[in-house]
Amino acid sequence: MDQSNRPYRSVLYIPGDKPRALEKARNLACDAIIFDLEDAVSPDAKEAARVTLGEELGKGGYGARARLVRINGFDTNWGRHDIQALKDQDFDGFLIPKVNSGWDVEVVAELTDKPLWAMMESPAAFMNACEIASHTRIAGLVMGTNDLVKDLGCRNTPDRLPLTTALQTCVLAARAAQIVAIDGVYNAFKDDEGLAVECEQGRDFGFDGKTLIHPAQLAVTNAAFAPSSEELDLARRQIEAFDAAEVEGKGVAVLDGRIVENLHIVTAKSVLAKAAAIAALEG
């Protein structure tokens, strides 16, 4: 799959110490999996989780889904051992928790050649978003909104207004670095209506997708972050109109009473490429 168009609509956390969950994940309709060795695993199960996850990754069977491993922090006794034990396994990158600066990325980069992703979950991380995103080894940013709410001492309101500045800062940093940006989790996993609203907000902000805590959230999230039939139709018609205008020697086209320029065609082609990548993943 073309990595530049790889879908990241739904990014599901899976506990690294649960063989049944790891097996079930092979057949779930998620675009990406975060195999979690950090928050989802209790301290007394850390060592065993590392072994369990290594065995499951060795079996393969996760298809074209992106596969990330969230290690424990380097402020613990487990982080370095997680990398050493798993760095030769077949997956797409390590997700580093509690990244506060580019230095935190560099420490991990010295231990593995795999792509790195950064959890953005502290005020320092968001203040240093450009520094983190621009690190040559970083492939994506993942929002840790629960931790951010805790550290800010703000209210976790449905409109996420207290988090808007932080979230938009990370999208800006990710786009400047041309990397992936994934929104934080929605905690009420039985509330499809609330999830849909937050997904739409995240997509409007510019996020590529959303992290999820339960498979029940997959359908709503996949739909929200995929191009709609109306968007696909508009993209095709914009390209057709612009091509016709170019044949006539014009630099712009008019469609539905609106100007269509080359920048709109870049977006239209991106929409179609994303839809094709989703179809390939689901096919």
Which tokens is 18 given?
């649960």
- The dihedral built from the CA positions of residue 150, 155, 160 and 166, taken in this order, carries a sign that is negative
Could you state, in order of their start, the residue ranges of all structural domains in the chain? 3-225, 229-282
Residue 246: what pLDDT?
94
Which tokens is 283 given?
């096919």
3-state helix, strand, coil in the chain (%, to 5): 50, 15, 35
Superfamily of domain 3-225: Phosphoenolpyruvate-binding domains (3.20.20.60)
CA–CA separation, 236 and 152 (whole Å): 44
pTM of the model as a whole: 0.94
pLDDT average per 10 residues of sequence, the chain (283 residues):
76 97 96 97 96 96 96 95 96 98 97 97 98 98 97 95 98 98 96 98 98 98 97 96 94 94 95 93 83
Non-local (6+) Cβ contacts of 161 within 8 A are none
pLDDT above 90 covers what percent of the chain? 96
Contact 176, 135 (CB under 8 A): no
Sequence-ordered strand ranges (E) for 218-281: 253-255, 258-260
121 phi and psi angles, rounded to 5 deg: -140, 5
